[in-house]
Structures are given as C-alpha cells and as structure tokens.
Structure 1
Amino acid sequence: MFNAITHSHIYVLDQDEALDFYVGKLGLEVNSDVDMGFMRWLTVNVPGQPDREILLERPGAPALSDETAAQVRDLVTKGAMGVAAIFTTDDCRKTYDELRARGVEFTEEPTERPYGIDCALRDPFGNHVRITQRAD
C-alpha cells in the first residue's frame, strides 16, 4: 500500500510572488520550476527534505474550468480554504522573530497549546499557514 506523501499543493494567485514569499521569506527551496506549456509546475520544499514537495499552483486549466478557477481564487483571497500548511520548528518563538524580521506578517503570536507552541500567518494570497513547535 502507500508508503509516503510526496506532493501537496497550495493555491496561489501569482507564482512569482509565491516564490518571493515561500522561498525568499519563509526560507523554503525551489524543487522544480518547469514550464509544461499548459501550466507551470512549481514546487518548493523544506531545505533538506526534497521528497516532500508543495506545488504552488495557480487555479485554472487543466484541472479547473475558468468559472471554477475564479471561485477558487475568491475563496483563497478570503482565507476560506482552511490551513494550507503546518510547518514544524525546534523553536517557534525564534522562528517567529526571524520571520517577522524578514517582513512576514503574522495573524497570531506564538502561543502555548496542549500540543506545543504555535503561531499563525497568512501568505500574500490569503492562505493560512501555521508554525508549530511540538511539545516534548
């Protein structure tokens, strides 16, 4: 049966802006950036973890009709797509400080939770992202 998850996706409205945010600010690295003609296959990963990629996908063809893609873009902008990603870190407060210094705007400061410490932000498009330091 299955032995891994290799790809997940986050809908973004502009892939170049997504690169600036996810690579330039959050510190992920580009895994693939391929013009496939009908779409740009753009993936990033946590440094040192190339087997777990996030597709930064523009809503549209071939998977979605123009009408549905417009609806998805509207939902993304409203932040209605739920949590797009949860990243783990060894020190949530330090990561929070470092990312704020890079210009990342947070919606929630590091907070103690039953499962550890976490904080929240939204990417430039409206997607919710969480950063978690797991409890020992």
Structure 2
Amino acid sequence: MDIRIAQSYLPQTDPEAAIGFYRDVLGFEVRSDVGFQGMRWIAVGPPGQPDIAIVLYPPGADPGVTEDEQKVLEEMMAKGTFASINLATPDLDGVFEKLQASDAEVVQEPTDQPYGVRDCAFRDPSGNMIRIKQL
C-alpha cells in the first residue's frame, strides 16, 4: 500500500496575515489562493516538497457549522486549542530566532524534551499551535 500525505488543514481568520506569516516568516511557497463567496483557501508548502501542502482555510466555510459552533471555534482558535501542526528543521535555533523577531507568539523556547526531542512552539496569526523540532 502506498499512501502519502497530500494536504493538511489549518484554519485562518485573516488571509493576508496568514500569507505573510507562512510565506515571509516560515519561507513557505504559496501554492494557490482561491476565493469563493468572500472566503479564501490558501495552500502553502515548503520549497522542495511540492507534493505536500498546508491548506489555510476559513473555519466558517462548512455549511454544517452553526453560529454557536462558529463562536466556539473562534474561541478555541484564539486560545490555540483548535488546531496544530508539527514541523521539523535541521536548524531549530536559527528558525526560532527568525520567529522570535517576527510577530509570532512564542509559546516555548527551544527545549530538550524528556522524550528525546528538542523543539519549540509558537502560534500563527490565527492562534494555531505550531511546534518545530530539531531534525
């Protein structure tokens, strides 16, 4: 069986801030930027991995989400408890310095975890938790 990750989804509440963060801070490529009925879906991904993307989507796009559920989603996003993603880099300290110099909210400085990983954590402009580990 040959199964691969093609896309992963993270909600975004401000398309321009999301593009600025993922493109300008993390260095990802913008693969697509699709608008529909006043909403935008933006696919970004790391250079050198053209077959993998993170789709930054409007959290209210699902027609099955009620107004009350939308409020809960927004509250969870603001606290960083709704969505997350783990990334990896060979230069954790260099990436952390760049993130710290940006507007990213630092949650954890590079730390040697007791389970054998060295990583850091921060939130993107929509509140999504992003952890980056040292390769």
Query: Common fold, TM-score beyond 0.5?
Result: yes
Q: Unmatched 5+ residue regions in structure 2?
A: none
Correspondence list, 1:41-52, <5 A: 41-52=41-52
Which deviates further from its counterpart, 69-78 or 48-57?
A: 69-78
Match of 2:17 in 1: 17
Question: Which aligned runs of 4 or more in structure 1 are off by greater than 6 angstroms?
Answer: none
Kindly provide the CA deviation profile for residues 35-55 of structure 1, in whole angstroms up to 9, marking residues without a partner as x.
Answer: 244742311001111211111
Aligned length: 133
TM-score for both structures, normalised by structure 2: 0.85
Match of 1:122 in 2: 123
How big is the alpha-carbon RMSD for the aligned residues of Structure 1 and Structure 2? Answer: 2.0
Cα deviation, residue 105, structure 1: 3.3
Structure 2 distance, partners of 1:58, 1:2, is 30
Correspondence list, 1:23-38, <5 A: 23-37=23-37
Match of 2:91 in 1: 91
Which residue identity is paired with 2:128?
N
Match of 2:76 in 1: 75
Identity %: 38
Structure 1 distance, partners of 2:125, 2:94, is 22
Structure 1 distance, partners of 2:34, 2:47, is 19
Cα deviation, residue 132, structure 1: 0.2
Q: Does 1:8 align with 2:8?
A: yes
Which residue identity is paired with 2:93?
R
Match of 2:104 in 1: 104
Which residue identity is paired with 1:45?
G
- Match of 1:41, SS state, is strand
Structure 2 distance, partners of 1:57, 1:51, is 18
Cα deviation, residue 69, structure 1: 2.5
Structure 2 distance, partners of 1:124, 1:96, is 16
Which residue identity is paired with 2:132?
I
